[in-house]
Amino acid sequence: AQTVTQSQPEMSVQEAETVTLSCTYDTSESDYYLFWYKQPPSRQMILVIRQEAYKQQNATENRFSVNFQKAAKSFSLKISDSQLGDAAMYFCAYRRGNFNKFYFGSGTKLNVKP
Amino acid sequence: DTEVTQTPKHLVMGMTNKKSLKCEQHMGHRAMYWYKQKAKKPPELMFVYSYEKLSINESVPSRFSPECPNSSLLNLHLHALQPEDSALYLCASTDTGSKNIQYFGAGTRLSVL
């Protein structure tokens, strides 16, 4: 069974600093996708970044980047130059190939201190 | 356009009421989802429709009844709900092309009195 684990329920970072959120997953599949979603308080869940398992290169989107360690089944999110607007719940998610089901981690609440 | 639209945004209902939640997307996505989310928790999958057919039902109580009238619309009919059903209900759709991205609506915040 696929499981996604986020071991940090809550983290804090100073504005302009860098923070890394952890995610591990369990799968025996070779074709899968990994995602980080952001959900600000009382606002919509939006995609931050995605990674295809077959790609060795780590995905980046502006200040957001991932460290994808396939053998270790680890998929961490690094946020550089943190901004107040980055404060949110962050969910790591896994999707196997073209199967419709997404598996979500329990979430990490990120606080950004001015 | 990467929008999933949900109505209403807020809903208060009694345990004997019947109400419906609506979801719409015009991105051509052929998979649509209903999730239930409690505060500070991840979304819990309820139903998935693929090409307008119910493909996943996560053992949801029958007081929740999904409907997919066409490829752009998804409804969730509610009847005889319990107070513990109070939650944020999220609709989502998935790009079945190469990106495999799931897009979420803003949700309906439901309170059952």
What percent of chain B clears pLDDT 70, i.e. is strictly above it?
97
Give burial (CB, 10 Å; 0-12/13-18/19+) of B108: buried
Is residue B107 within 8 A of residue A44, CB to CB? The reply is yes
pLDDT, position A86: 97
pLDDT, position B99: 75
Contact check, Cβ <8 Å, A43/B50 = no
Residues of A in contact with B99 (CB under 8 A): 50
Residue where the block lists tokens 């680890």: A74
Residue B1 has pLDDT above 70, yes or no: no
DSSP-derived secondary structure letter, B40: T
Substitution target in B68, B93, B102, B109 with the highest count of A β-carbons within 10 Å is B102
Q: Higher model confidence: residue A91 or residue B40?
A: A91
- Rounded to 10 degrees, the C-alpha dihedral B37/B97/A52/B35 comes to 10
Whether A110 has its CB under 8 Å from any CB of chain B: the answer is no
Condensed to tens digits (0 to 9), the pLDDT of residues B40-95 reads 999 999 999 999 999 999 999 999 999 999 999 999 999 999 999 999 999 999 98
pLDDT, position B100: 82
Structure tokens at A68: 């994808």
Residue A100 has pLDDT above 90, yes or no: no
Is residue A92 within 8 A of residue A4, CB to CB? The reply is yes
Q: Does residue A86 sit in helix, strand or coil?
A: helix
Residues of B in contact with A101 (CB under 8 A): 45, 48, 56
What percent of chain A clears pLDDT 90, i.e. is strictly above it?
89
pLDDT, position A99: 86
